[in-house]
Amino acid sequence: MTKLHLFAFCLLANAVYSQTANYAKAPNSYIFDLEQAHSQNYGGILIPVKKAYEMWSKYEYLKTDGSSTPIPAGIQSASVYWQDVPRLVKNVNIVPGADASGSSIKVEIDKGRGKGNAVIAFKVDGVIYWSWHVWITDNPANGVAYGHGTETDIDGNPVIIEYMDRNLGAVGSGLVDHQWQKTGGLMYEWGRKDPFPSLVYKDSDFYEITGEVGVMRHPQIDKINTVPVVVRPYSEIEKNIKYSVNNPINYIINTDSGGNWFSSSRYKVAGASPSYVTWDLWSDNAKGGNSNGNSSNTALSRESRSYELKSELDPCPNGWRIPSYYGRETQNNNLSFFGKKADWNNADSNAAQRQLFPDAPNPHLNGVKVYPGIGMDFTQAENGNRNIGQIPLPGAYVYYPNSVSPNAPVGVMFQDNGANGGLWSSTFAYDGARLFSIISDPNRTSTSVGLHAIYNNQTNPTRTGNAVRCIKDPNLAKIGDFATQYFASQKENYTLGLDNPNSYVVVNQEQLEIPVNKAFSVHNQLLSDQEMLPSDKLVASIVWTSNIDLIKNLSINLNSSDPRNSTIAVSLDKNITGNAVVALHNGNKSNPVMWSWHIWATAENPAEYPVTYTTEAPAVVGHHFINPTASKMPPMTTVFMDRNLGALNSNVNTGLANGLHYQWGRKDPIPPLSQVNSNKVFVGVPASPELISTAPIRADTYFKELTETTYDEGFTSPYAVYGSANSDQSRKIRENIKYSVENPLRFMYRNGLGAEFDGGNHYGNDLTKVKDWVSDDRAQAADRWGHADKKSPFDPCPEGWRVPDVSFTNLYTGSKGTSPWYNGYHVDAYGKPGVIQDQWHSITQFYGGEAIGTAGWKFENSTYYHGQIPRDGIRGEVGEFKMKTNRTGLWTASMADLNTGFALAMLIQNDKMQTGTGVYPQAGMSVRCAKDEKRLLGSTAELNKPAAPRPIVVPPKVANAAASETQLSPNPFTDRFSISNAQASTYEIFDFGGKLVQKGIVESGSVSAPQLPTGLYIIKITMKDGSTSTKKIIKK
């Protein structure tokens, strides 16, 4: 974008900078505090470009033959160079100042997109002269204070070393909290200011970056469109630093053994130890000279522990910097920034000190908790004396040389974020840059639980890409406080109701109040550029219902001060069960739906008898380890509802256990409308567009019965009809989601047929045929149902419940231990522990389950207990829109790995099951809600327990005379009653406690029951074709 000629009003986080501010040392990254931005309605930040001008005028490594090369006069512009969340940064523009160096970059940020990272490039006449990392996250300043008690600032004053609570660029801070998979952060070559995205999170979820660089993905899935790798183009450091500034995304490597990515010389000044001088790109305490904080030379010791001014190339935000080692070559533990205090040993050289074992405590690492393959928690290390916080495994960019032709690079690969990683320091040692690193690799065979160790005194080549954990800058006052300059948004930031549920459970309830503010907050935050829906004449409607007598009245309880805080008042017949969807409009009911809610009316609370299941038992260990397992994955404990979402009973034999269908990532239910579910569905039709919902339902709404045929013909839409033509991928997705919101009953599909996922031949699956309703490209909008994060605004489950999630997204990269239905208590077909998730296995042999006729399946053994699962069928599983009943599935909240585009689910077909397989996201399948809890366990997993006994309750289901062909007469009866349907074959009568009191054959269309005590009963009638009808009947 070119210059803007109007200066935007801005709010300064710190109104006046120091009068002696050193702009060359201004930060290379800025924090956009998302929580603060929401509370203050900030719209973005201003980045002063003066640093770029100062650097090109004065910095020694941007000179040419010793002479400065200032930025030339020309047209200034800025761009979103890359970002890891689509449209996280909405726009960038130049705001002119008094002169060229006084300009700023106005960075507009979409708060509704959540957390993430972006790099903003500053150009003159199209040439990049600097770039800044914008880190959108919550406040990362809540880290630990850990030092050796000997550190000082540049003037020799003692300082307390305080760390961030996360790696630079990470948007999560806890090893087992929400967004745990994003705790690794961004990667940095040693000495460079610009970050590199890992392109794969810790849960194997591969992501992409977009922006001026185009679309870039991990080379494992796209070898062409990925981070470009360049062999160091020059020998001289000045030319290479210039190249790195001009090309922030180019990963520069050296193929020689004695150089660095920035120079063919290993050292700035060669010489024998300790006289050589190293490169000092990140401001080491010794400025590249010899250091030893334990030296008997007092001056050397003090200098080694005294922090210098922050480097011009330091990647940390304002007020933060990279930590230094206190010894260049000396490898004492107390010279490492995270090393053990007052310890002059080198634990790296002693396995007994550096390694953690499952059968014996390590007294040097007492209290350290290891989450295998995830990270280590030092909070209680040495009774808190070595509390360095929680350290995730960040992985690294690793260079692979060509063994045949050593000077021809094979390339660089980001890898191992489930096994190891390190944190850079500012110190360059004799053979590379110093770092603190950990290994937690459950797949190694060093012990029964893998290899797990801490290394205090390691080095890596500067071309390696490692993580950074910033410390508070002890010398901030010396360089100036360049606090983030926020500017106010000119649009309303409306978030009320954003996390409200999309479905409501009602049990024997006559009134329900549904807040409508969610419609406005979702539109403001997620479906527009912070725009607002109209609310001058709010109207409610019934989209569909399974019983026209369920909802007696519908109206708007208007909040006159702010209509957005109004509610939909729903009057219900408490004696009727079923499902309905109600919607909010503005103006009249023929106007687009602004939001809709599912009402789930049951005779009993579906959360009263939950099923708790743990995927596998952790290995028995004595020390250090939290939940090591045979699958090498963290075990999951999930508390499930006892039935599918929308089901009226948990017992498949009642004929009422069939739930509703959901396309992956959508909030609105679609009734199955097939022979597996005999419930009828009625579409609400306004009698007149002019009538509003303050009138009774009968006065303003007609109902039309919906059949499978009429649904297929009138409520399915191919992508060609609804798909957005917007060239901006993120806007296209947003517009398609908006269409789904406005059409809650409509099945959205892609034309053509693909194939079911083949778990036995992963790479034989044709990914070009994967079909998703949200886009004509695959693997988009993977956060629709909130994987590894808090419950999504589009989650269909009631308050306190959510779509069950996986731990890791493995489909192609793993096949055990990641699905909430994984069976780790049985061997697979090859005799190895755990049943393979994406391959068909016998329900009886491998899961201890059994089929219940054609009604469904039950899993009620002591180790694998999931209750009963009805045969619900799947709509549009491999494309198109047709409903098929030969397979049944349950969704998870996650998409699969490697950008394949599959969504992860459990599938059952006949007598076989897959507990974690891939399904096209456009499919309509069932959901079994799980309690809304964090996915990973912070404590030892508990073994499965037998489910609590429960009564069988058959809920009342009263059909309207016009809606049913089966009638009972007389009702109430004395001794005998007749059944009007000639297809009636057998019957079962239950009391209202769910106890079966009589059953038999329907003879000559009637049933004799003179012995029944007076009271109210439920009769389940089974027809000759296997369908059922349930009625309420009264015995006089």
DSSP 512-576: EEEE-HHHHHHHHHTSSSS-----SSEEEEEEEES-TTTEEEEEEE--SS-GGG-EEEEEE-TT-
All residues at 6 or more sequence positions from 209 whose CB lies less than 8 Å from its CB, including other chains:
82, 83, 84, 197, 199, 215, 216
Better-scored residue on pLDDT, 708 or 956: 708
Contact criterion met (CB below 8 Å) for 824 and 834: yes
The b/e string for 743-753 (b: 16+ C-beta within 10 A; e otherwise) is bbbbbbbbeee
Beta-bridged to residue 506, according to DSSP, are 601
The values of phi and psi at residue 440, to 5°, are -145, 80
Domains of the chain by start residue, with CATH: 11-488 (no CATH), 503-931 (no CATH), 965-1035 (2.60.40.1930)
Instruction: Give me the pLDDT at residue 1012, please.
Output: 87
User: Where does the pLDDT of residue 985 fall: very low under 50, low under 70, confident under 90, or very high at 90 and above?
Assistant: confident
Output DSSP code: residue 478.
H
Nearest to 10 by CA among 52, 35, 43, 37: 43
Which residues face 135 on adjacent strands?
Answer: 31, 117
- Least Cα distance to 792 among 112, 177, 170 occurs for 112
pLDDT at 5: 32
Nearest by Cα to 909 from 791, 707, 759, 748: 759
- Reported as a pLDDT band with limits 50, 70 and 90, residue 405 is low
Residue 19: pLDDT band by 50, 70, 90 thresholds?
very low
Q: Please check the confidence at residue 14 and state whether its pLDDT lies above 70.
A: no
Which residue type sits at 780? Q
Whether residue 946 has a cis bond before it, omega within 30° of 0: no
Instruction: Answer whether residue 950 shows pLDDT above 90.
Output: no
Using pLDDT thresholds of 50, 70 and 90, give the confidence band for residue 1: very low
Mean pLDDT lowest for which of 236-240, 286-290, 688-692, 862-866? 688-692
Q: Band of the pLDDT at 946, cuts 50, 70, 90?
A: low
pLDDT over threshold 90, residue 650 = yes
Higher pLDDT: 961 or 626? It is 626
Between 76 and 1030, the higher pLDDT residue: 76
pLDDT of 628 over the 50 cut: yes
Instruction: Classify residue 622 as left (phi > 0), alpha (psi -120 to 50) or beta.
Output: alpha
Residue 406 has pLDDT above 90, yes or no: no
Q: What angle do CA 122, 127, 130 make, to 5 degrees?
A: 35
Q: How many residues does the chain have?
A: 1036
pLDDT band (50, 70, 90) for residue 88: very high
Q: Are the C-beta atoms of residues 419 and 376 closer than 8 Å to each other?
A: no
The 10s digit of each residue's pLDDT in 180-228 is 999 999 999 999 999 999 999 999 999 999 999 999 999 999 999 999 9
pLDDT band at 680; cut points 50, 70, 90:
confident
**CA nearest 293: which of 325, 339, 340?**
325
Residue 695 has pLDDT above 90, yes or no: no
Sheet holding 984-991, edge to edge: 996-1001, 984-991, 1015-1023, 1028-1035
Q: Do 539 and 564 contact (CB within 8 A), yes or no?
A: no
Counting runs of H as helices and runs of E as strands, what totals does the chain give?
12, 58
Instruction: Determine the pLDDT at residue 677.
Output: 54
CB 650 within 8 A of CB 643: yes
Q: What pLDDT score does 408 carry?
A: 61
> Taking 50 as the threshold, does the pLDDT of residue 542 lie above it?
yes
Please report the pLDDT score of residue 369 as a whole number: 97
Residue 91's beta-bridge partner residues? Answer: 108
pLDDT-wise least confident of 605-619, 764-778, 951-965 = 951-965
Each residue's pLDDT tens digit, 412-449: 999 999 999 999 999 999 999 999 999 999 999 999 99
**Averaged pLDDT of the chain:** 93
Chain CA centroid to CA 418, Å? 17
Q: If pLDDT is split at 50, 70 and 90, which confidence band does 465 have? A: very high
pLDDT for 690 beyond 70 = no
Q: What is the pLDDT of residue 1024?
A: 78
pLDDT, tens only, 545-597: 999 999 999 999 999 999 999 999 999 999 999 999 999 999 999 999 999 99
Tokens matching residue 171: 């948007």
Please check whether residue 525 is in contact with residue 495, taking contact to mean a CB–CB distance below 8 angstroms.
Answer: yes
pLDDT digits (tens, 9 = 90+) for 847-872: 999 999 999 999 999 899 999 999 99
**According to the model, what pLDDT value does residue 960 have?**
39
Q: What is the mean pLDDT of residues 605-618?
A: 95
Answer whether residue 393 shows pLDDT above 80: yes
Given a contact cutoff of 8 angstroms between Cβ atoms, the answer to whether 456 and 347 are in contact is yes
How much is the pLDDT for 686? 67
| Identity of residue 836 | I
- % of the chain exceeding 90 in pLDDT: 84
Quote the pTM value: 0.90
What is the percent of the chain where pLDDT is above 70? 93
Tell me if 454 sits within 8 A of 438, measured CB to CB: yes
Q: 936 and 374 in contact (C-beta within 8 Å)?
A: yes
For every residue of 335-393, DSSP letters joined together read GSTTSPTT--S-GGG-HHHHB--SSS--GGGTT-EEETTTEEE-TTGGGGTT---EEE-
Omega within 30 of 0 (cis) for the link into 323: no
Q: How far apart are CA 312 and CA 62, in angstroms?
A: 12
Q: What is the pLDDT of residues 786-803, one digit of tens each?
A: 999 999 999 999 999 999
